[in-house]
Amino acid sequence: MIQLLQLAFVQNALIAGTIVAILSAVVGYFVVLRAQAFATEALSDIGFAGATGAALLGGSSLLGTFVFTLLAAYGIGVLGERVRGRDLEIGMVLAFALGLGVLFLNLYTQFATETVNVLFGSLLSVSHDNVVIIAWVSLAILLVIGFLFRPLLFASIDPEMAQARGVPVRLLSIVFMLVLAITVSEAVQIVGVLLVFALIVAPAASAERLTNRPLTTIALSIVLGLVFTWGGLLLAFVGHWPVSFYISALAALSYFISLIVHRVRVPKRYKEPERPCMGCPGSSNQGYINVPVPAERASR
């Protein structure tokens, strides 16, 4: 294992995976809080078209994913509430985006391996230049989230009250969608378009089942994201399957375990006892006689 850590591609994979896991856990908390998991899937599908389009032009798949997801995120953020209730239209757009990616892939098959990595992820093929880009972009995103943490948290929990207090809810929605787009673009490099949920949604969803405090949830989400990433790398070195599979498997397993723990820890809701039935069979008041109430007492 020590010899493996001395290899350049292993170091790049470990550094990139650690950075993306931390960023995804932080952003994923707000994704779960704002119930925007579907937006995450939408951006990842659109990012596939961007990656294959960039490959068709001879550019970087990471850059193409950035451009397409940012444009889509801005559109979703501007539409705001009007996006809700349009699952059919959004689904058709996503299907068209995937079809467009397949078209780009068929038109220029020289970068077929690269685009397949975009679909399923290839952490071990991350280059040093990609690590540098991921590091600087992630640092910028974390600074933005740190600066907007309180108003973003307020707008995510109670948008109506936040807007009444003067918080720019619409602007925060657009900014967060752009942040999510960049995070999705980076997570695609690790687990691919089809498994992006494993790093962005699963750690935060698991952590939210175990604690209700925002900072504690974010911290636990980061720990889980790092465990998934490092564990996936370790299992990939020992076994023969892709890193993305191990990461997604660990993420799914942790979420189901968190569901079980949540059900065990949360007590059952108090059930109000039924009122006794006078004279009903099986009732302890079966022997009682209903005495008519005098008219004078009834009128009081």
Give yes or no for residue 149 having a pLDDT over 70.
Answer: yes
224 and 206 in contact (C-beta within 8 Å)? yes
**pLDDT tens digits for 195-240?**
677 788 889 999 988 888 889 999 999 999 999 988 888 888 887 7
In order of start, what are the domains of the chain with their CATH numbers?
2-196 (1.10.3470.10)
Check residue 216 and give its pLDDT.
Answer: 92
Q: Write phi, then psi, for 52 (nearest 5 degrees).
A: -70, -35
pLDDT band at residue 283, thresholds of 50, 70 and 90? Answer: very low
Other CB atoms within a 10 A radius of the CB of residue 285 amount to 11
Task: Assess contact for 276 and 250: CB atoms under 8 A.
Answer: no
Q: Could you report the per-residue pLDDT of 87-134, keeping only the tens digit for each?
A: 555 666 677 777 777 777 666 655 555 556 666 666 666 778 878 888
Distance CA 202, CA 279 (A): 55
| H or E element in which residue 142 lies | helix 128-147
pLDDT at res. 285:
47
Cα–Cα distance for residue pair 161/127, rounded to 1 Å = 46
Residue type at position 114: E
Share of the chain above pLDDT 70, in %: 72
